Amino acid sequence: MSVGHTEVTDPAALSCAEDCGVRDVQDRLGDKWTVHVVVELSSGVRRFRELQRLVPGISQRMLTLTLRRLERDGLVTRTVHPTVPPQVEYELTATGYSMTRLIRALVDWSLDHRGIIAESRRAYDERREARP
Amino acid sequence: MSVGHTEVTDPAALSCAEDCGVRDVQDRLGDKWTVHVVVELSSGVRRFRELQRLVPGISQRMLTLTLRRLERDGLVTRTVHPTVPPQVEYELTATGYSMTRLIRALVDWSLDHRGIIAESRRAYDERREARP
DNA sequence: CCGTATCCGGAGCGATACTG
DNA sequence: CAGTATCGCTCCGGATACGG
Give the domains, in start order, of chain A with CATH numbers. Answer: 31-130 (1.10.10.10)
Which among A71, A111, A125 has the least Cβ separation from residue B20? Answer: A111
A19 pLDDT band (50/70/90 cuts)? confident
Between the CA of residue A16 and those of A11, A22, B117, what are the distances in Å?
10, 10, 18
* B114 contacts: CB under 8 Å, gap ≥ 6: A20, A21, A24
Q: Is the pLDDT of residue B98 over 60?
A: yes
Helix, strand, or coil here: A50? helix
The stretch A96-107 carries a mean pLDDT of: 97
Phi first, then psi, for residue A91 (nearest 5°) are -150, 145
B20 pLDDT band (50/70/90 cuts)? confident
- Asked if A76 and A91 count as a contact pair (C-beta separation under 8 A), the reply is yes
Encode pLDDT of B23-65 as tens digits: 999 999 999 999 999 999 999 999 999 999 999 999 999 999 9
Q: Is the pLDDT of residue A17 over 80?
A: no
- Asked if A117 and B73 count as a contact pair (C-beta separation under 8 A), the reply is yes
Quick one: closest CA in A to B12, which residue? Answer: A39
A8 pLDDT band (50/70/90 cuts)? very low
Average pLDDT along chain B: 89
Asked if A79 reaches chain B (Cβ–Cβ under 8 Å), the answer is no
Query: What pLDDT sits at residue A20?
Result: 83
A131 pLDDT band (50/70/90 cuts)? low
Strand C nucleotides within a 7 Å radius of protein CB atoms:
1-6, 12-17, 20
Query: What pLDDT sits at residue B129?
Result: 79
Could you tell me the pTM of the whole model?
A: 0.89
Which of A79, A80, A73, A64 has its CA nearest to residue A96?
Answer: A73
Q: Residue A47 belongs to what H/E stretch?
A: strand A46-47
Encode pLDDT of A118-130 as tens digits: 999 999 999 987 7
Q: Is the pLDDT of residue B6 over 80?
A: no
For residue A50, which amino acid is it? Answer: E
Q: E strands within chain B? A: 46-47, 76-81, 87-92
For A61-119, give the DSSP string. Answer: HHHHHHHHHHHHTTSEEEEEE--SS-EEEEEE-HHHHHHHHHHHHHHHHHHHHHHHHHH
B132 pLDDT band (50/70/90 cuts)? low
Residue closest to D4 C1′ by Cα: B61
Query: What pLDDT sits at residue B47?
Result: 98
- Choose, out of A3, A8, A9, A24, the residue to mutate when testing the contact with B (most B CBs < 10 Å): A9
Helix, strand, or coil here: B113? helix
